[in-house]
């Protein structure tokens, strides 16, 4: 029992080494990830998990397409799709850190690229399913989620601390929200039109709040850089006096 606790504590420390989480489900999620990375077979690499996560997004998009052309009950395919995506997307980088084989910049670049393509495919699937002007809700969701990704990267550039969350919302909360909306649509047809629009409004508000925080952080960084330059200038003047 003590050995298991030590392994869990070690795993938690390794997977959290370069990332700050602020999402609502962070405690449960971190413990789950810390447990799962210990169980991943050695034949599965971080890149393999990234591919698994991407397959999950393709599954979600496929659910929308089949829901549009076959039967709306195919939308339920998105639920295992989101689960598969969570497993791959949440464990790929964490597995690398757990195995002490991190490729920080390669992993960051690959993760952002694959996430964006997956988000685009889901948004495209929604536009095929939704009727009329409601298609634009999918377009706006992709734009807003892309904005959230850009904010996370800018925050990383400014502070040096990478966070994939936008306040209390992270990718896991977004997956749960989308899964709930899609499930309701299966049993209450046409509800997705209104719920997706409401989700866009929530994401817009969250992005605006995070943008304000980002600008405040950037302003503080500018002040620190300006003070350092002034100190260097004064020091050079004193040396040349």
- In the chain, the DSSP E strands lie at none
Inform me whether the pLDDT recorded for 4 exceeds 80: no
DSSP SS3 for 19: strand
For residue 120, give the nearest of 56, 183, 57 by alpha carbon: 57
Those residues whose C-beta lies under 8 Å from the C-beta of residue 192, and which sit 6 or more positions away, are 129, 130, 181, 182, 184, 185
| pTM of the entire predicted model | 0.80
CB-based contacts of 56, cutoff 8 Å, min separation 6: 80, 81, 82, 83, 84, 85, 86, 87, 88, 89, 118
Contact between 200 and 144 (Cβ < 8 Å) = yes
Q: Given a cut of 70, is residue 168 above it in pLDDT?
A: no
Quick one: tokens of 149? 């990704």
Question: Looking at the predicted structure, is the pLDDT value of residue 188 above 60?
Answer: yes
């Amino acid at each position: 029992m003590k050995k298991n606790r030590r392994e869990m504590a070690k795993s938690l420390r390794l997977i959290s080494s370069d990332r700050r989480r602020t999402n609502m489900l962070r405690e449960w999620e971190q413990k789950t990830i810390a447990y799962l990375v210990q169980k991943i077979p050695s034949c599965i690499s971080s890149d393999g998990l990234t591919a698994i996560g991407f397959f999950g997004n393709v599954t979600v998009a496929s659910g929308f397409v089949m829901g549009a052309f076959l039967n709306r009950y195919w939308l339920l395919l998105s639920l295992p799709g989101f689960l598969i995506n969570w497993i791959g997307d949440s464990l790929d980088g964490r597995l690398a850190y757990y195995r002490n084989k991190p490729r920080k910049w390669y992993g960051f670049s690959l993760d952002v690229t694959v996430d964006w393509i997956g988000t685009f495919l889901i948004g495209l699937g929604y536009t095929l399913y939704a009727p009329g002007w409601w298609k634009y809700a999918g377009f706006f969701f992709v734009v807003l989620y892309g904005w959230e990704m850009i904010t996370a990267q800018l925050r990383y550039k400014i502070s040096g601390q990478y966070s994939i969350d936008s306040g209390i919302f992270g990718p896991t909360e977004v997956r749960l929200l989308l899964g709930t909306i899609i499930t309701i649509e299966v049993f209450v047809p046409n509800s997705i039109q209104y719920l997706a629009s409401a989700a866009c409004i929530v994401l817009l508000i969250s992005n605006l709040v995070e943008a304000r925080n980002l600008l405040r952080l950037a302003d503080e960084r500018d002040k620190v850089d300006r003070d350092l330059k002034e100190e260097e200038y004064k020091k050079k003047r004193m040396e040349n006096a």
